[in-house]
Structure 1
Amino acid sequence: MSDEGRRTHGFRRRTPLGAARERLLEQVTPHGRTERVRLRDADERILATDAVAERPVPHYRRAAMDGYAVRAEDTFGASDRSPAQLRVGETVGPETATRVHTGSELPEGADAVVMVEETETRGESLTVFDAVAGGENVAPVGEDVEAGEALYEAGHRLRPSDLGLLKSVGNEAVEVYERPRASVVPTGEELVETDPEPGEVIETNGQTVAQYVERWGGEATYRDIVTDDEAALRAAVERDLDHDVVVTTGGSSVGERDLVPEVVDDLGEVLVHGVALKPGHPVALGVVEGTPVLMLPGYPVACIVNAVQFLRPTLREVGHLPHTDPPTIEAELTRKVVSDPGTRTFARVQVDRDGETVTATPTRASGSGVLSSVALADGWVVVPDRREGLDAGDVVAVEDWEWSG
């Protein structure tokens, strides 16, 4: 396709961000692969089956207080004025009590515990000043959890406290969904890994995206750089269609060397090319043989913005992971933020706190190719499509796009 053809074909119309994401997720099917993992390795994993208690908690009758294990009937009527007189022994029997501590097993023959503060001992003689009922101050078998009790349903995201409970009820491992697998392919003939010559650029986008994949609950295959060659790009995409998602960085626009969308459209279908967001409108979204292919722009900031907006929800959907909103803090803008009507704008800001006052200052280096503008920012402010910028003094929500929840 000629340069003129690319320009007129590529971005004649930019798809709204929400519509583009919806069109992409319509092509995403949660995978069904599962694996059994040890509890120590299951934090933040997603249960593939219901988790059931293999044994009760407690699994024995235990004393809930420090005191004396007794037969409740031997204390009936006991009071400060008319205490019951028992003796202390090694076992519990008629008018015989045994010393117990919180959590210790209730002796055979006992059905209650008298708190130690309601007793007085002299040698083997025990005076009880308060009557107890059967079962009082005793934790029965299964009081916390019964054997066979369903604890968590499939789809639950496991937390450390969940794993502690599962261990306490006898579970040693759980069935979870495998982590979603993403292939990350950096593209561009100008990219090098080290020691750039004039005109060459250190590859960072692929590394950054691969690390986001891991942070967002997936497993990344970080591929070697692929040059701007149709045959090489085609082979790179076809090689990784066994992954849950293929991500390319660079070559997604409409220039002479932006070949990735054409390759994907030839292999499958480009669903969206050009999205109404800034920075990063030259993103393309496609599908090949049922595998989503995300073509992220080569400018670092644009790449990150689009990874958050499209790759993260794709990974969450395919991997049965919950869709969660980023954490935000409210802050007052110190300077105006300019945006184009009809375009979702992501303005990087630095946050300052002075007592209870929180302010957000747009970073001066705001170009989509300036990686430091995100690396040194504390978050970004999203300007809605319908707004024509934000004014100094506006109270805004600063999103932390680095979150992993």
Structure 2
Amino acid sequence: MDSADTDETPPDRRSAGFKDRTRVADARRRLLDAATPHERTERLSLVPADGRALAEPVSSPRAVPNYDRAAMDGWAVRARDTFGASDRSPGILRVADAEPHSVPETPVDPETAVRVHTGSKLPAGADAVVMIEHAEHVGDDLEVFDAVTDGENVAPVGEDVADGQELFEPGHRLRPSDLGLLKSVGVDRVTAYERPTVGVIPTGEELVQDDPEPGEVIETNGLTVSRLVDRWGGVPTYRNVVTDDESALRAAIQRDLTKDIVVTTGGSSVGARDLLPEVVDDLGEVLVHGVALKPGHPVALGIVEDTPIVMLPGYPVAAIVNAVQFLRPVLKYVGHLPDDPPPTTEAELARKIPSEPGVRTFARVTVDDDGRGNDGDDLGGDDDASSLSTATPTRASGSGVLSSVALADGWVVVPEGREGFDVGETVTVEHWEWSA
């Protein structure tokens, strides 16, 4: 973890501290400006393409449907043969085929009807379908009680997708519904960008994987960050813990410069054991060191041989906040993936959230949805504040209290220009962990 204030450090780093902290938006922009999207692509079948960003446009090789088809169960007819039909004076047609077929071969001659079901190819000569409930089959005749117009209850060629229609542009992230559409038009493979690769390097001589002795700490940041990388569309390589040694840190970073992004945890502050910013600056350039956000202002961002380096603080909550604010957007950018905002809930604040002016604060909250539906819609008809969800700040708010994030429903972002939110205010809760 980041060193305490009692650690001995060189005077220049100690005096610098974090007096001049970069705003979140500015820090993110510097990182993205230094990054470059990769251009590696691969051909994929539809199932593994789920969630991937397309590298080439996709157009439909055929129309859907590629034939006129019945949109209802009923009888294929010539519309003009039903004109004037009603309940009192039904039209009478001859039944040419009373058995529904998926591909009817019986043509519809004048004054005749052919049985069809939903999805059937419309028989030759027909231009409409009488719904089955609007007609009655009596012997060799069909009594029609409701006239139809040309094209009624018929799905024409290309109603769903036209032949040659452009479906998706490069950069579109494929969803399950997109895969169904692609299959329907006969596309079974697509060209997508490879998932961006990320080296995840936990650092700190006090870290162990299990059974900690006094003074040791279970390593959790690397695990958490690697799973976030996977959820966000990247390919994480979760490395073993690297001790607080300049040579070891240098070697670990150089090893992972083959990745699209390198992210480290711990060692990003200004203590004697916080060596990462100096190592990165020696190998490349530190773009930002110290950001005006809470928790987690000792984050550092750099670039080495065109590889973005995200140096997260060692405290678990601070690591997560900064991963969402900086690692996620650069991963999305490098991997050509859309950086969609997280889902949100409007809620009434149960307790005050204090914050420091000029600092963006991320306050963890739980959300009580009493009085609202699961999708966030009010169950009642009133628009007053009592119909809102309730957001309650977690009691434990320290940046080292991992349970305060794991047991929360999201966080409320207090912008730099506010000195917190008062009890009863309506706030926006970001459900960041539900956002891919």
**Normalised TM-score (structure 2):** 0.85
Asked if the contact 1:3/1:254 (under 8 Å) is kept, the reply is no
Residue in structure 1 matched with residue 212 of structure 2 by the alignment: 196
> What is the letter of the counterpart of residue 30 of structure 2?
R
Of 42, 49, 60, which residue of structure 2 is paired with 1:53? 60
Which piece of structure 1 moves more, 326-335 or 310-319?
326-335
Which piece of structure 1 moves more, 145-154 or 242-251?
145-154
Q: Calculate the aligned-residue CA RMSD, in Å.
A: 2.4
CA distance in 1, matches of 2:419, 2:265: 30
Which piece of structure 1 moves more, 360-369 or 108-117?
108-117
Q: Over residues 145-176 of structure 1, what are the superposed CA-to-partner deviations in whole Å (9 max), with x where a residue is unaligned?
A: 22221122222222222221111111112222
1:400 aligns with 2:407: no
CA distance in 1, matches of 2:78, 2:370: 65
Within-5 A mapping of 1:24-39: 24-39=31-46
CA distance in 2, matches of 1:329, 1:129: 52
Q: CA offset at residue 75 of structure 1?
A: 4.9
1:185 aligns with 2:192: no
1:99 aligns with 2:115: yes
Residue in structure 2 matched with residue 369 of structure 1 by the alignment: 400
Secondary structure, counterpart of 1:37 in structure 2: strand
Runs of 5+ in structure 1 lacking a partner?
Answer: none
CA 1:278–1:110: 2 relative to 1, 3 Å: closer
Asked if the contact 1:65/1:115 (under 8 Å) is kept, the reply is yes
CA 1:361–1:111: 2 relative to 1, 3 Å: closer
Q: Over residues 258-314 of structure 1, what are the superposed CA-to-partner deviations in whole Å (9 max), with x where a residue is unaligned?
A: 111111001000011111111111111000011100111111111111111111111
Q: CA offset at residue 10 of structure 1?
A: 4.3
CA 1:105–1:236: 2 relative to 1, 3 Å: same
Asked if the contact 1:192/1:202 (under 8 Å) is kept, the reply is yes
Of 319, 331, 345, which residue of structure 1 is paired with 2:361? 345
CA distance in 1, matches of 2:425, 2:153: 59
1:14 aligns with 2:21: yes
CA 1:234–1:58: 2 relative to 1, 3 Å: same
Asked if the contact 2:53/2:337 (under 8 Å) is kept, the reply is yes
Of 34, 40, 47, which residue of structure 1 is paired with 2:47? 40
Secondary structure, counterpart of 2:34 in structure 1: coil
Asked if the contact 1:10/1:273 (under 8 Å) is kept, the reply is no
Q: CA offset at residue 83 of structure 1?
A: 5.8
Within-5 A mapping of 1:1-400: 2-72=9-79, 74-75=81-82, 85-90=92-97, 91-92=106-107, 93-128=109-144, 132=148, 134-355=150-371, 356=387, 358-400=389-431
CA distance in 2, matches of 1:399, 1:130: 54
CA distance in 2, matches of 1:379, 1:385: 19
**Normalised TM-score (structure 1):** 0.91
CA distance in 1, matches of 2:423, 2:135: 71
Secondary structure, counterpart of 2:432 in structure 1: coil
Secondary structure, counterpart of 2:336 in structure 1: coil
Asked if the contact 2:343/2:435 (under 8 Å) is kept, the reply is no
Q: CA offset at residue 53 of structure 1?
A: 1.3
Asked if the contact 1:112/1:137 (under 8 Å) is kept, the reply is yes
Q: CA offset at residue 14 of structure 1?
A: 1.3
Runs of 5+ in structure 2 lacking a partner?
Answer: 1-7, 98-105, 372-386
Q: CA offset at residue 243 of structure 1?
A: 1.3
Which piece of structure 1 moves more, 248-257 or 141-150?
141-150
Which piece of structure 1 moves more, 109-118 or 191-200?
109-118
CA distance in 2, matches of 1:202, 1:252: 18
CA distance in 2, matches of 1:366, 1:117: 65
